Structure 1
Amino acid sequence: MLRYWLRPASLPALLCAALLLLGLYYPAASLNASVRGLTIWWEVLFPALFPFFVLSELMLGFGIVHFFGTLMDPLMRPLFRLPGISGFVVAMGYISGYPVGARLTAQLRERGQITQAEGERMVAFTTTSDPIFLIGAVSVGFFHNAALALVLAAAHYGSGLIIGLLARFHEPRAPGTPPAAAKPGSRFLLSAAVSAMHEAMQADGRKLGRLLQDAIGSALRLMTVVGGLVVFFSLVMELLTKAGTLDLLAAGLQTLLDAAGLPLQLSASFVNGLFEVTLGAKSSAETGAPLVHQAAVAAWALSWAGLSVHAQIASILSHTDLRYKPFLIARAVHGILAFALVYLLWGWLGP
């Protein structure tokens, strides 16, 4: 029996059992953490993400995605080895923030409009924070310094662009989606884009009422999953804090920070950011370290995105053949690049 529980495959079961026991031992803290996570979901995430989920479904049905895809095809293929339709996903992902880019990518993959390798490149490329959160919540709300938004945005989105360029080397021998054949009378790119949108609308075939109903239903199902994950990770972090596990992780991280010549007080921010992006960015602003170090940790947290967002992305990808591992590697590299870019750009863009 003991040999069975010591197997690596049994580790998730052991962790779940440990969390259950901690939840029973700290019932009040568990309830408060769950309520806090539910509040964040209802007051922040639901109004921020739900409209974009509905609009993305409507845009697919109306063929708007195909319109922009045709227009951007000459740019996206040579730069990122992606079809033009990915340009719309990149724009929506950067504007709306995680996990909208992954959601759109999964939808395109389910419809067979992109290949597996292209989908994995797109998820790696389009998972970023939205500008409203970066500027309003992090720069102004946490740091009380609007001028900090410039260097944070440059580091976060600049490193995201580098990830997109690096992702072109993912599965280099995998075939790509062939460019759409030019239609008679579609000599100009705009004419071809309008033709692609019209064909997509006809292929979908749903009337406005049915399309809106399906879009709302799909968005609500996804928001329920997102809310459950937010509540779950809020509970996990509270229980790990009560058990002293996060303090142990922070103490272990201090050795690495000391070797790198970084302030030791940043360790707690790194640990919080490992699990949840908001807590990581908030705690980085509350350390007594110099501002450049605080900004670097905040940029890392925004780019790594936290295991809570990772779980949301993994849940979305589970309905497709898109793999989580390439996304995980991209987030790790994105976090390191954003962290380094803050130091490189600080002399030019720092407040």
Structure 2
Amino acid sequence: MSKRMTASDPVRLVKKTMLLGTGLLALWIGGMALAMPGEALQASLRGLAVWWEVLFPALFPFFVLSELLLGFGVVHLTGTLLDPLMRPLFRIPGVGGFVVAMGFASGYPVGARLTSRLMEQRLVNREEGERLVAMTTSSDPIFLIGAVCIGFFGRADIAPVMAAAHYGGAMLLGLALRGRGRTAEAGKPEASGASSPVLPEGGGRMRRALAAMHRARLADGRPFGVMLQDALESSIRLMIVVGGLVVFFSVALELLLHSGILSALRSGLGAVLGAIGLVPGLAEAVVQGSFEVTLGSRAAAEAAKTAPLIDQVAAGAFVLSWAGLSVHAQVAGLMSRTSWRYLPFLRARLLHAAFAVGLIYLLWPLLGPHGG
């Protein structure tokens, strides 16, 4: 007797295919590393330099600070204050406002780290956490303005339109995803009840927010010295994981470039871009940016000889919003202890990239260099 296919069977098939494909890709990269040890070593050193010189000083203080703020109950304070704003707009508890602010200020993958902590503390459920991670996986302003706009493009005048498209796209993504998970959350009052602490009636919102912060601090109970030590230890472990992923993807990209596989992909994508009226030279930025943000942003800036500035900036916005598989792996590693799922995050990154590109062309006459 034949078995009837259930709704979960296609999902299982996709997961098995992804696992098999990932395993085969890892095996192939390992073989290429043995065949080209010199290139693998140089790529590892470049990835290590990026981690030590850029990512470690940029992310480590924010990791430590976020752990301390969680311990002091600041999340509960902001959650009480921002709940009337976050719930109607994004269907996310007020504590998500803290993650949005920290994520936008410090860049990927800080938003994923904070969301994982909120999910572990049952302050947000799975659907809320997935929307929050999708919305807060963004570049920090220092990298977007200093490294990309000024460093790579050499033009500070594109920073307004680039920032508006990137962060505006993230906000549009949050609005677009607010309806997802409605069925799953129906009939689960405990999900929203876990998201917001029970507050005393009476008094202003600030008073209730301070009371929620005080209760959270008493519930934590750790002295400041212990809290600081725990924050340093957990942040060091996270930075080692981030560094390992950066080095791995640096090696993987270098080996793929030398093997010629990416050359074929670049040629095919260039033909597609040419067919829709764009410059084929932008394919280099998209291909490299699919793996790593820094390389893709630099490639977008280097397309100046062949592409108009607006198309270059659009390619850079696509790369920043897609975030690269290196950041995807960092987010997946940080969220691995929760019930978070990767496939919704993958769709969200594509949607964010599409929003950012559309906003570049829409806002260029207003915020672009010299008004267009």
TM superposition score normalised by structure 2: 0.90
For residues 266 and 232 of structure 2, the distance between their equivalents in structure 1, rounded to whole angstroms, comes to 42
1:37-79 deviation per Cα after TM superposition (whole angstroms, max 9, x unaligned):
0000001000000010011110000001111111101111111
| Alpha carbons 1:29, 1:238 under 8 Å: kept | yes
**1:15 maps to amino acid:** L
State the one-letter code of the partner of 2:96.
Answer: S
User: Paired residue for 2:62, among 39, 52, 57?
Assistant: 52
Instruction: State whether structure 2 residue 316 is matched by structure 1 residue 306.
Output: no
| 1:13 alignment partner in structure 2 | 23
CA distance in 2, matches of 1:83, 1:11: 37
2:359 aligns with 341
Q: Which residue is 2:230 aligned to?
A: 214
The answer to whether structure 1 residue 292 and structure 2 residue 321 are counterparts is no
Indicate whether 1:98 and 2:113 are aligned: no
Q: Secondary structure of 1:278's partner?
A: helix
Name the counterpart of 1:88.
98
Name the residue aligned to 1:224: 240
CA distance, structure 1, for counterparts of residue 197 and residue 203 of structure 2: 13
Change (3 A) 1:138 1:29: same
1:322 match: 340
Residue 221 of structure 1 aligns with an amino acid whose one-letter code is: R
Question: Deviation of residue 180 (structure 1)?
Answer: 3.8
| 1:120-269 superposed matches below 5 A | 120-173=130-183, 174=185, 175=188, 176-178=191-193, 179-184=196-201, 186-269=202-285
Q: Percent identity?
A: 55
Shift of 1:169: 1.0
Q: Residue 3 of structure 1 corresponds to which residue in structure 2?
A: none
Instruction: Give the SS at the match of 1:129.
Output: coil
TM-aligned CA deviation for residue 17 of structure 1: 2.3
How many Å apart are 1:322 and its aligned residue? 1.2
The whole-number CA distance in structure 2 between the counterparts of 1:17 and 1:216 is 35
1:103-153: per-residue Cα shift (whole Å, max 9, x none)?
000001011111111111111111110000000000000011001000000
Distance in 2 (CA, whole Å) between partners of 1:257 and 1:329 is: 21
Secondary structure of the corresponding residue to residue 147 of structure 1: helix
Report the CA distance between 1:286 and its aligned residue.
0.3
Unaligned runs of 5+ in 2: 1-15
Whether the aligned pair in 2 keeps the contact of 1:317 and 1:324 (CA below 8 Å) is: no
| 2:81 paired with 1:71 | yes
Task: Give the Cα separation in 2 of the matches to 1:108 and 1:198.
Answer: 18
Partners of 2:350 and 2:229 in 1: CA distance = 38
Secondary structure of 2:156 counterpart = coil
Displacement of 1:272 after TM fit? 0.6
Distance in structure 1 (CA, Å) of the matches to 2:198 and 2:121: 19
In structure 2, what is the Cα distance between the partners aligned to 1:261 and 1:125?
30
Q: Residue deviations 1:158-211, cap 9 Å, x none? A: 111000111211101314423444314x42000000000000001111111111
* Amino acid in the other structure paired with 1:314: A
1:4-60 CA distances to partner (integer Å, 9 max, x unpaired)?
Answer: xxx945433332222122112211111000000000000100000001001111000
Counterpart AA for 2:301: A
Structure 1 window deviating more from structure 2 (239-248 vs 17-26): it is 17-26
Q: Which amino acid aligns with 2:328?
A: H
Contact 2:109 2:331 in 1 (8 A): yes
Aligned residues: 344
CA RMSD of superposed structures (Å): 1.2
Report which stretch shifted further, 46-55 or 256-265: 256-265
2:40 is equivalent to residue 30 of structure 1: yes
Distance 1:15 1:162 in 2: 34
- How many angstroms apart in 2 are the aligned matches of 1:245 and 1:133? 29
Give me the whole-angstrom Cα distance separating, in 2, the residues matched to 1:13 and 1:126.
Answer: 29
Contact residue 79 and residue 93 of structure 2 kept, 8 A: yes
Q: Distance in 2 between matches of 1:322 and 1:88?
A: 19
3-state DSSP of counterpart to 2:192? coil
